[in-house]
Chain A
Amino acid sequence: MEQIITCINCPVGCRMQVVLSDSGEFVSVSGNTCPRGSAYAKQECTLPERMITAVIPVEGSRIPLSVKTSSPVPKDKIPQIMDALSSVSLKAPVRLGDVIISDILNTGSDIVATRNILL
């Protein structure tokens, strides 16, 4: 079967046709104009991944802590990851780079602080 996806690596936004096997496995891609496109297409059709960024309240601080995943995580795990963040209780101080949750939901990715909250 075929799937159309748009590459997000650069402003050209090549529309690519991806051929998948009957079991949904990546077979081939056309329509890309560079190798980054085909790599993206393969990943996107096999296991779409995204970076997540969010904020978590910090006790005693007006400003919540901004966090990110340390690497892209499977897109279909986003709702559970957001739920997991809701059970985090944080206290200041927190420093940029601090690991808030290690290996979230077995994705191999950490939740990492992206700003300092020093009271």
Chain B
Amino acid sequence: MDYKTDILIIGSGITGCALARELSGYQASVTVLEKGSDIAEGATKANSGIIHAGYDAMPGSLKAYYNVLGSSMYPSLCSQLNIPYRRCGALVIALDENEIKSVEALKKRGESNGVENLSLIGKDEILALEPNINPQVVCALNVPDSAIISPYEAAYAFADNAAVNNTTFLFDQTVENVIKNSNGFTVQTNSDTFHCHVVINCAGSFGAEIHNILCEEKLEMTHRRGQYYLLDRSSEQPFSRTVFQCPSHMGKGVLLTPTVHGNMLIGPTAEDISDPCDTATTAEGLSEIIRKAVRTWPALSVRQNITNFSGIRAHLNSGDFVVGQNKEVPGYFEAIGIESPGLSSAPAIARDLCRQVVDYMNLVRKEKTIVYQAPSCSFHDMSNEERASAVESDPAHGNIICRCEMVTEAEIRAAIHRPVGARTVDGVKRRTRAGMGRCQGGFCMPRVADIIAEETGIPLQKITKSGGSSFLLTGSIESYLKGESNHDQSEN
């Protein structure tokens, strides 16, 4: 099919969604094309969830600029849109004399970047703040403004806000060609053709590929994988802050961080791989994480591990973000190489890009925009009084579907009916936490699948874990008994 739209955004990760939300405040039609089956299926769902204070990026770089600006925008955004966010603070620890220099350099760098409240603290103070840190710690950079967030929930919130303000999100759309023409652009995907005035490339790991279709000056990208351990929720996590390591003889360090929902993340690795879709975890990667993490947390135990995952960073070999209107191709805007501190930077990148597009197209602000708020409190986090009212107003809150995370049937149905709603098991999982607990969906997954089937009309056999051909089931008993049986095994 052929579609017309004013503005086409390629990619619905954190950057694309933040930008879509910004642009949805203006009078223009905006369409977001996503190659996956849902929002945030790339790096946005598979990172540390840290809103960095901004000491790590090189002064003068776009990374530094957008990191500091972006992280200052999150508190009010999260409060307005009910995105889980917590300013838990961070420490960058030095475990020997050599590492002290690294930590001191980070402090200086942070100050150059305009980061406030940085200080160097000694062993006693460190252990008073975080008693489980390796007692051999020498000193640390204390970063009270470092924060944690749920990165995919942020993306959903941005996307839902864009959608209620008439942004169109289309999934299973892989961009194959972008052609500049007199009116703007023709964008061909695996299934459709789009005609637009402006194209904005927020395509994550595929950003360089798309850029290189349009531009003479090519970009080179390296796909860098990071694997993680995720430990179960607990009210007694070993650390209340994010704890970073310095580079050491073992290479780049790993971090240990609480998550905003009370889990613990340990990782990541940094392996350069050739296939941007290879998000497997590996025995080598996972054991590397343990070897490194134990330097921070000698009592490290992964007994409480509930899952491992990995994400692919979109690293430009030139080392910095590429943001803005491309000089060669008017009307083509891009945000490429949005690796760390990409999450922290996204709102600021989005605001800048939006301004540039508005100027380019002379867009007029809409008189009214609708603010969509995700539920402010999950059933799990409610008080008993709040729970009692919730069930009174919707009895479906009385059916607990995921008992590890206390997610109700009402919450799952609501997630399916959000402006950009869930249609897969993982889509429900990331919007509600159903399946993110100790049993990892062992108990609730069949029930979640049933609810998705009921609410969307998709037959149970066609429900997927995360789109494409990730079907849960291969058929009904009936079809097996009648046709596809394989009874020859006993005669072998």
Contacts and interface: CB of A to CB of B under 8 A. Distances in A.
Touching chains A and B, CB distance < 8 Å:
yes
B476 interface: yes
Interface stretch (B68-76, B420-428, B480-488): B480-488
A57 B477 contact: yes
Contacts of B481: 82-83, 85-86
A57 B487 contact: no
Interface in B379-438: none
Interface string B457-491: 00000000000000000001110011001010010
A16 B192 CA distance: 69
A6 B476 CA distance: 35
Contacts of A72: none
Contacts, number: 22
Contacts of A79: 487, 490
A57 B485 contact: no
Contacts of B477: 55-57, 64
A82 B485 contact: yes
Interface in A52-66: 55-57, 64
Nearest to B482: A86
A100 to B, nearest CB: 14
Contact of A78 (B476, B478, B482, B490): B490
B476 A57 contact: yes
Contacts of A83: 481, 485, 487
A55 B477 CA distance: 8
A64 B478 CA distance: 10
Contacts of B485: 82-83, 86
A85 B487 CA distance: 13
A82 B487 CA distance: 9
Contacts of A82: 481, 485, 487
A56 B481 CA distance: 9
Given A82-B485, A83-B485, A57 B490 contact: no
A75 B491 CA distance: 11
Nearest to B480: A86
A44 to B, nearest CB: 15
B247 to A, nearest CB: 56
Interface string A39-81: 0000000000000000111000000100000000001001100
Contacts of A86: 478, 481-482, 485
Interface string A5-30: 00000000000000000000000000
Contacts of B482: 86
B64 to A, nearest CB: 57
Contacts of A78: 487, 490
A55 B481 CA distance: 10
Interface string B79-113: 00000000000000000000000000000000000
Contacts of A64: 477
Nearest to A85: B481
B461 to A, nearest CB: 14
A90 B485 CA distance: 20
Contacts of B490: 75, 78-79
A38 to B, nearest CB: 26
Which 4 A/B pairs are nearest by Cβ-Cβ distance?
A86-B481, A79-B487, A57-B478, A86-B482
Interface of B: 476-478, 481-482, 485, 487, 490
17 contacts: A55-B477, A56-B477, A57-B476, A57-B478, A75-B490, A78-B490, A79-B487, A79-B490, A82-B481, A82-B485, A83-B481, A83-B485, A83-B487, A86-B478, A86-B481, A86-B482, A86-B485
Interface of A: 55-57, 64, 75, 78-79, 82-83, 85-86
